Structure 1
Amino acid sequence: MSALAARGVRVRFGAARAVDGVDLEIGSGEIVALVGESGCGKSSLARALLGLVRPSDGTVECADRPLDYRRLKAFRRHVQLVLQDPSGSLNPRHTVYEAVAEGLRIHKVPGDERELVAAALAKAGLRPPERFFLRYPHELSGGQRQRVVIAGALVLEPDVLVADEPVSSLDASVRGEILALLLRLRAELGLSLLVVTHDLGLAWNIADRVAVMYLGRIVETGDTAEVLTAPRHPYTKALLSVVPEIARQEPIVLKGETPDPSRIPAGCRFRPRCPAYAAGLPAELAERCEKESLPVLPADRGHHAACVLP
C-alpha cells in the first residue's frame, strides 16, 4: 500500500506548468528523495501532495484513497511538513512547549497535553524534554530548533513526513545527526518520508528510492543505489558529476539556465541543455529528441528514465 501518491498530477500557475504530469508513490515505511535543481517543480509537487495546492489535473492519494479537499484538517494529521529553515518555522514569541502543543490544540487531540508534548520532544532527541519546555527558539542551537520542528510534526502521530530540504540550513556536523534521527524515526515508528532536496549526496545517505525532477517532470526514478551508480538520464549524470561522495568523472557543466516552465520545449524538455544532444546524435535519435514527447514515468519500483538514449 502506498502511504502517499501522485497520479498524473499537474500544477499550473497561469501559463507556467510547474508540475507537468507526475506519477510518484511513497510506500509504507519508505524514504523517497525528490531531487532536482531550483525551479524544477519539486516544491510545487510537495505542496500538491500536502494539499496546499490543488492540482489542475490528476489526483493525490493518501493510503490508496483520493484526497478529499473538504477534509484537509483530518488529512493533515496523517501527513506533516518539516520545513528547511527552523528559525523561520518557529514563532520567536512562543516557547518550545507552545510550538509543539499548537498542533494538538488545533486538532483537539485528546489526552494529557504535557505528556504528549514531552513524548514528541523525546522522540525528536530532546531529552529530558521538560528541560526544553520554557525555552525560546533563540536560546536553542540550529540542530535543536530543527528537532523542535520535527517534534511539532511527530506530536500528531502522522504516517508520512514531507521534509523540504531538512538539513540545508544546518552545519555539516549537525546534518548527520538529523539524518540519523529521520532514519531512526522510520525504523521505530514506521514513518514514510518524502525528502525534497537538491543534494544527491543526502539522497545517497538516506533514501530507499530517488526521483529526479526536471522542468515539471520526473526524468529518472528507481532504487537509490541503482540510479546513483548507473544513471541513465543525462541530467542525472550531470547532477552526480558534482557530488564529491559519488562523482567518478569530471564535472559536467550544463549550458544555459533552466527553461521557462511557461515555454516548455517540444520533444525532450532537457534537449536545449543536453550534452549528449549537443555533441551530436545519430539522425534518428536526434529527431526523436526534437519531436517525441516522452510519456510520464510509471510510479512502480523499477528503474526508469525519460530519455531516448539506450
Structure 2
Amino acid sequence: MSDTASDAVGTALGLGDAGAGRTASGAGPLLSARGLHVTFPGRRGAPPARAVDGVDLDIGPGEIVALVGESGCGKTTLARSLLGLVRPTSGAVAFEGEPLSYSAGALKAYRKRAQLVLQDPSGSLNPRHTVYDAVAEGLRIHGYAGDERAAVAGALARAGLRPPERFFLRYPHELSGGQRQRVVIAGALVLEPELIVADEPVASLDASVRGEILALLLRLRDELGLSALVVTHDLGLAWNIADRVAVMYLGRVVETGTVESVLTRPQHPYTQALLSVLPESGDTPVVLTGEPPDPSRIPSGCRFHARCQILASGEAAPVAHRCRDELLPILSGGGEQAVACHWATREGVRG
C-alpha cells in the first residue's frame, strides 16, 4: 500500500489520527497465551481440524488488541480458549502471570475477571428476562453480597443507558439493537472485570450505531482501565479502536504490531489483500485464488502460499521453494512488529 493510500485509509474512514499515540502498556501482560493449539476431531474419518495451530498472544493492562481475519480462520476459537471456554489441546494461557486452571472453581473465579461480549445481542439476551434480570444474572451466579440494585444501575449507566431505572423492567424486544448491545456490555461490566473479549461487537448493528458502541468501549478503557480483545473481520473497526492488531490466517497469527504499522505498512501478502478491498485504500483489490482455508488440511511451508498473490505473480520466485516447504516460526505475542512471511523477511522486514 502506498503512503498516500495509507493516509487515505484513515482519512476517508473519518479516523484522522485516531490510532496515533496509542501504544501498548509498558507493564507485563494481563493475559498471555503461549504455543496455543486447539484441535477438534474430524467427522466421518476426516483429519482433525487444527482450529488454532500455534499462537502466542499478549494483552497488556489497559490495552485493546484487535484480532483480525476472515471467517473460519480460528479467531473465535482462539478468543474462547483465552476465556477458558475451550480447553486448548496444548499450550498455556496465563492471567497476571498465573497459569489458567481448568477446575470449576478456578474457572468461575477467572470468568469474573474476564468477560465475553457476543456478536448478536438478540441471541445473548433471554427474551423472557427483563433488563434488570439480564444484568443481575452474573451477580447472582457469583454470590454478590452488596447492593444488587445499585450495582445493576451503575453498570447500565456506564454502558450509556441513562437513567438506568427506566430500563429495569423493559424486555429485549422493547429495545433497539444498540440498546440491546449496551445491555450485554452492562452485563459484563457489572462484575467489574479487568478484561473484555468482544466477538464482532458491532457486526449486527446499523452503521449509525457502530460508532457509538466503539466510542463506549474506548471510554470504558479510559475510565476503568479495561483491557479488551476485539475479534473482527473489519479493518476499519480495528483502526478505530485498537492499540495493536494481530492478523490471523488458518489458525495462526501471520502479522502483528501496532495498528498504525500493520494497517498503514502491511508486510504480509494476506494483510495487503485484506486492506486492498477497502475503497479508501486506493489500491487495486486483490482477489485471492485457490480454496478457502481448511483447518484439517494445513499445507506445508507458509500456510498462505497456495493463495499468495505475490507468489503467483512470480515476484517471490527467489524464495518460492521456502514458501512451499519451509515452516515459519510462531510470532512473538508481544508488542513488536513481526510478520510470518519468507518474502517479507527476505526484504529486511523484522520478523
Q: TM-score, normalised by structure 2?
A: 0.87
For residues 251-293 of structure 1, give each alpha carbon's deviation from its aligned partner in whole angstroms, at most 9, with x where no partner exists: 1110133231111111010000000111114554011101110
SS in 2 for 1:69: coil
Q: Is the 8 A contact 1:35 1:213 kept in 2?
A: yes
1:175 aligns with 2:202: no
1:114 aligns with 2:141: no
1:270 aligns with 2:304: yes
For residues 73-96 of structure 1, give each alpha carbon's deviation from its aligned partner in whole angstroms, at most 9, with x where no partner exists: 000000000001000000000000
| Residue 2 (structure 1) shift | 1.2
Distance 1:256 1:91 in 2: 41
Distance 1:37 1:219 in 2: 13
Report the AA paired with residue 145 of structure 2.
P
| Residue 4 (structure 1) shift | 1.3
Structure 1, unaligned runs of 5 or more: none
Partner of 1:44: 77
Q: Is the 8 A contact 1:10 1:57 kept in 2?
A: yes
- Count of aligned positions: 309
Report the AA paired with residue 30 of structure 2.
A
Distance 2:278 2:196 in 1: 26
| Residue 65 (structure 1) shift | 1.0
Report the AA paired with residue 122 of structure 2.
S
Partner of 2:181: 146
Q: Is the 8 A contact 1:35 1:212 kept in 2?
A: yes
Partner of 1:303: 337
Report the AA paired with residue 41 of structure 1.
G
What aligned pairs does 1:124-139 form with structure 2 within 5 A after superposition?
Answer: 124-139=159-174
Query: Which of 90, 93, 105 lines up with 1:60 in the alignment?
Result: 93
Report the AA paired with residue 163 of structure 2.
P
Distance 1:94 1:197 in 2: 28
What aligned pairs does 1:75-224 form with structure 2 within 5 A after superposition?
Answer: 75-224=110-259
SS in 2 for 1:37: coil
For residues 189-239 of structure 1, give each alpha carbon's deviation from its aligned partner in whole angstroms, at most 9, with x where no partner exists: 000000000000100000000000000000000000010000000000000
1:11 aligns with 2:47: no
Distance 2:335 2:316 in 1: 31
What aligned pairs does 1:234-249 form with structure 2 within 5 A after superposition?
Answer: 234-245=269-280, 247-249=281-283
Q: Is the 8 A contact 1:267 1:292 kept in 2?
A: yes
Structure 2, unaligned runs of 5 or more: 1-27, 42-47
Partner of 1:231: 266
What aligned pairs does 1:30-41 form with structure 2 within 5 A after superposition?
Answer: 30-41=63-74
Distance 2:314 2:56 in 1: 31
| Residue 106 (structure 1) shift | 0.2
| Residue 250 (structure 1) shift | 1.0
| Residue 243 (structure 1) shift | 2.0
| Residue 40 (structure 1) shift | 0.3
Partner of 2:314: 280
Report the AA paired with residue 305 of structure 1.
V
Q: TM-score, normalised by structure 1?
A: 0.98
Report the AA paired with residue 189 of structure 2.
L
1:293 aligns with 2:327: yes
SS in 1 for 2:216: helix
Partner of 2:4: none
Q: Is the 8 A contact 1:11 1:20 kept in 2?
A: yes
Distance 2:279 2:137 in 1: 40
Q: Is the 8 A contact 2:311 2:317 kept in 1?
A: no
For residues 109-159 of structure 1, give each alpha carbon's deviation from its aligned partner in whole angstroms, at most 9, with x where no partner exists: 120100000000000000000000000000000000000000000000000
After superposing on structure 2, the runs of 4+ consecutive aligned residues of structure 1 that deviate more than 4 Å are: none
SS in 2 for 1:256: coil
Q: Is the 8 A contact 2:68 2:75 kept in 1?
A: yes
Distance 2:316 2:128 in 1: 63
SS in 1 for 2:136: helix
Report the AA paired with residue 266 of structure 1.
S
Report the more deviating stretch, 278-287 or 53-62.
278-287
SS in 2 for 1:167: coil
Q: Is the 8 A contact 1:215 1:258 kept in 2?
A: no
| Residue 248 (structure 1) shift | 2.9
Distance 1:115 1:257 in 2: 53
